[in-house]
Amino acid sequence: MHARNSFEDAANEPQHEHPNTIVLDFAKRFPDRLQLLVDHWRDAPGQVVDGYAFFLLYCWHGKHRDPATFERWKQPGQERSPFADAPEIRDLVAASLAAIGGQAGWVRMLGRRDYCECGQTSKLENLSVCVDCGRHWCWECSGTRCRGHEVVG
């Protein structure tokens, strides 16, 4: 067998997964996805999340970002995630928000419509999302579904 040339070596380097794919990989536990995001940001700083991945991460971070806010929004028995203080996660969230157009972009995103699992459509601002399984819930359904999972937004 002939030796690999440098072109083949380059092709064998690990490919970076897009951070959207990491956020939305519901087969993995959410803390494991957050660790992958930290690693990814260290390897490829500046690569941001958008769309639904951003919605999920921004809602989650908004709840966990500081102890006082978390106390207000936590579900019974829930603990604040240490990843909320990771500088990589904070930077990823801030850069992603800037990339969608800051607060104006966020407000536009909240005005989009999507489906609850019950079939009702609602603006994103009235939908919650489960960080563990990715299901969306409207206000009427939220809190009654996804027991044992973390629903944010």
* 153 CB neighbour count, 10 Å cutoff: 21
Name the residue nearer to Zn ion (CB basis): 74 or 90: 74
Task: Kindly state the tokens that stand for 92.
Answer: 């990823």
| Residue 85 φ then ψ, to 5° | -95, -5
Question: CB of 2: closest distance to Zn ion in angstroms?
Answer: 51
User: Total binding residues for Zn ion by CB under 5 A?
Assistant: 10
Site for Zn ion in 89-148 (CB under 5 A): 116, 118, 120, 130, 132-133, 138, 141, 146
Name the residue nearer to Zn ion (CB basis): 100 or 138: 138
Question: CB of 153: closest distance to Zn ion in angstroms?
Answer: 12
Name the residue nearer to Zn ion (CB basis): 15 or 144: 144
**60, burial (CB in 10 Å: exposed 0-12, middle 13-18, buried 19+):** buried
Residue 127 CB-half CA count within 13 A? 26
- Cα 140 to chain centroid distance, Å, stands at 23
Name the residue nearer to Zn ion (CB basis): 44 or 73: 73
Question: CB of 56: closest distance to Zn ion in angstroms?
Answer: 11
Site for Zn ion in 35-94 (CB under 5 A): none
∠ CA 94-100-105, rounded to 5°: 105
Assess 26 for contact with Zn ion (CB under 5 A): no
Question: CB of 136: closest distance to Zn ion in angstroms?
Answer: 8
Report how far residue 109's alpha carbon sits from residue 103's, in angstroms, rounded to the nearest whole number.
10
Question: CB of 81: closest distance to Zn ion in angstroms?
Answer: 16
104-107 LR contacts (CB < 8 Å, sep 24+): 106/58
Binding region for Zn ion (CB under 5 A): 116, 118, 120, 130, 132-133, 138, 141, 146, 149
